């Protein structure tokens, strides 16, 4: 059907949202985000001290969060420190609001039809 194929920018946004939601699907990654929110940049070792997993496992989770744009690493001497970059969460919220609004409109139309019947 014409018009159903997403534009390149919409397709790119879908890929980015997919990576974001995939990153957020893991409970350990959500805990890492909680640990980073409101905190100063911290190393993978520092994060591992707060969680019951190894530094290597934390590093893998940080890599997934970085791919999703949720953390940004910065090199300080021999250490890499990570900080939360919450901007992609705004994109996810906007997407959920858009989808929710569509559902609300659909339900309102359905309710209106039911009232007329």
CA angle 61–59–11, rounded 5-degree value: 40
Residue-level pLDDT at 64: 95
Average pLDDT, stretch 107-111?
88
pLDDT of residue 7: 56
pLDDT at 71: 96
Residue 95: inside a domain, yes or no?
no
Residue 54 belongs to a domain = yes
DSSP string, 48-86: HHHSSS-HHHHHHHHHHHHHTTSEEEEEETTEEEEEE--
Domain-located, residue 105? no
| Cα–Cα distance for residue pair 79/65, rounded to 1 Å | 18
* Contact status, residue 84 vs residue 69, Cβ threshold 8 Å: no
Give pLDDT, residue 10: 63
**Please, which pLDDT band fits residue 89 given cuts at 50, 70 and 90?**
confident
Residue 47: CATH number of its domain: 1.10.10.10
The structure's pTM equals: 0.73
The pLDDT of residue 92: 86
Per-residue pLDDT of 46-87, as tens digits, reads: 999 888 899 999 999 999 999 999 999 999 899 999 999 988
- Report if residue 99 sits inside a domain: no
Is residue 34 in a domain?
Answer: yes
Q: Which domain holds residue 34?
A: 9-85
Please give the Cα distance from 66 to 32 (Å, whole number).
12
Is the per-residue pLDDT at 1 higher than 80?
no
| Helix (H), strand (E) at residue 3 | none
Q: How many domains does the chain have?
A: 1
């Amino acid at each position: 059907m014409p018009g159903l194929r997403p534009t390149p920018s919409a397709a790119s946004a879908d890929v980015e949202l997919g990576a974001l939601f995939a990153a957020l699907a893991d409970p350990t990654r959500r805990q890492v985000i909680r640990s980073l929110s409101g905190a100063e940049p911290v190393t993978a070792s520092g994060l591992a001290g707060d969680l019951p997993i190894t530094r290597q496992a934390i590093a893998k989770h940080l890599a997934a969060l970085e791919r999703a744009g949720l953390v940004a690493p910065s090199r300080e001497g021999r250490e890499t420190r990570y900080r939360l970059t919450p901007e992609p969460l705004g994109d996810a919220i906007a997407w959920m609001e858009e989808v929710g609004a569509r559902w609300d409109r659909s339900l309102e139309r359905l309710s209106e039809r039911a009232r007329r019947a």
